[in-house]
Structure 1
Amino acid sequence: MTFLPWPVLRQLTGPDRTGRGAAARSARTDALAPRTERADKVVPSVCPYCAVGCGQQVFVADGKVTQIEGDPASPISRGRLCPKGSASKQLVTGPHRQTRVLYRRPHGTEWEPLELDRAMDMIADRVVAARRESWQDTVEGKAVNRCMGIAALGGATLDNEENYLIKKLWTALGAVQIENQARI
């Protein structure tokens, strides 16, 4: 601790008249370190919020995400992130994030936890049944080979590669109503 504990006294009596250097420093200031300094590794990623694809650096310490920042090496964003991209750490670590499957039975009023394997089986069964029930071979004598009972609506929280694979999946199943923000 210095003789003059108040920054304003250090500013008025010391060589730092503007109060932007030593006068403004404290023991707490000197002890601060960037959150990114403690990271075990830095993982390159892409912001999940829109179709722009800004580069991100995900800082991981002890297996947990500690910080997400813009990637200066990204030719798209050059290290900058919009407000949503800057807050994307909350998407990963937020306390309200759901980490288990929830299911609400038909005509039910409450959500109940469901095992992931059971949920995946239920989805697969419903996709197969919808495809079987709504398949069209022909319309007015023309071959169409399509499924009118399945539609897909996606968003930009997936990257272009994931949206491309989803588009291929639904097209292979015969769906024609496929839409997402990435516009592939």
Structure 2
Amino acid sequence: MARFSPLQWPVFRQVRTGDVFGRGPAVQSAHTKALTPRTVTADRVVQSVCPFCAVGCGQKVYVKDERVVQIEGDPDSPISRGRLCPKGSSSEQLVNNPLRQTKIRYRAPYATDWQDLDLHTAVDMIADRFIEARRNGWQDHDADGRQLRRTLGIASLGGATLDNEENYLIKKLFTAAGAIQIENQARI
């Protein structure tokens, strides 16, 4: 390793190169100059929409070896014009987090351990419970005989990681099922 010279200090480099305010290459270290952005090494760029709220900010997703390496705002998006909020900027972590659950986990009542379920079993369990809760909580008429046709046995709390279309379909599904307690995390 080469011996460090005081002439390489940023202040001396600023004076020597004429970069008096330290806003140019005088304040860059050799390590910083050698860095390349992850976006340069990407195999392809895919346009997407931020999954967190209903705004629909455009994103550019940089993919290398079929793995997301960076997500940035899309400057061509008429909605966000290349800007992302802190949640949108962290979308890459949503995809690549090593703690992300990729299997369906179920813990039976009073059980202490989780078990993995296949998709069909989990969907059947959810559908059976949904139908039973709707049936048990159904209100056809109120005390005065007015027609209600609703259920208080089911409710929906949508997540902010769903896009507009998914939230729209969830709202339609729960409304058609008779639910009146429908809310979204993004609004709370």
Provide the TM-score with structure 2 as the length reference.
0.80
Q: Is the 8 A contact 1:7 1:23 kept in 2?
A: no
2:147 is the alignment partner of 1:143:
yes
Q: 1:92 aligns with which of 86, 90, 95?
A: 95
Q: Which runs of 5+ in 2 are unaligned?
A: none
> Secondary structure of the equivalent of 1:34?
coil
Change (3 A) 1:102 1:23: closer
> Secondary structure of the equivalent of 1:157?
coil
Q: Percent identity?
A: 60
2:29 is the alignment partner of 1:50:
no
Most deviating of 40-49 and 122-131? 40-49
Letter matched to residue 92 of structure 2: K
> Secondary structure of the equivalent of 2:81?
coil
4+ residue segments displaced more than 4 Å: 22-25, 28-31
2:135 is the alignment partner of 1:132:
yes
RMSD over equivalenced CA pairs, Å = 3.0
Q: What is the aligned partner in structure 1 of residue 77 from structure 2?
A: 74
1:152 shift after superposition: 0.6
> Secondary structure of the equivalent of 2:113?
coil
Q: 2:160 aligns with which of 146, 156, 160?
A: 156
Q: What is the aligned partner in structure 1 of residue 64 from structure 2?
A: 61
Letter matched to residue 154 of structure 1: G
> Secondary structure of the equivalent of 2:40?
helix
1:179 shift after superposition: 0.8
Please give the alpha-carbon distance, in whole angstroms, between the structure 1 residues aligned to 2:115 and 2:27: 58
2:124 is the alignment partner of 1:111:
no
Q: Which runs of 5+ in 1 are unaligned?
A: none
Q: Is the 8 A contact 1:42 1:57 kept in 2?
A: yes
Letter matched to residue 159 of structure 1: D
1:67 shift after superposition: 0.5
Q: Is the 8 A contact 1:133 1:149 kept in 2?
A: yes
Please give the alpha-carbon distance, in whole angstroms, between the structure 1 residues aligned to 2:109 and 2:182: 26
Most deviating of 88-97 and 103-112? 103-112
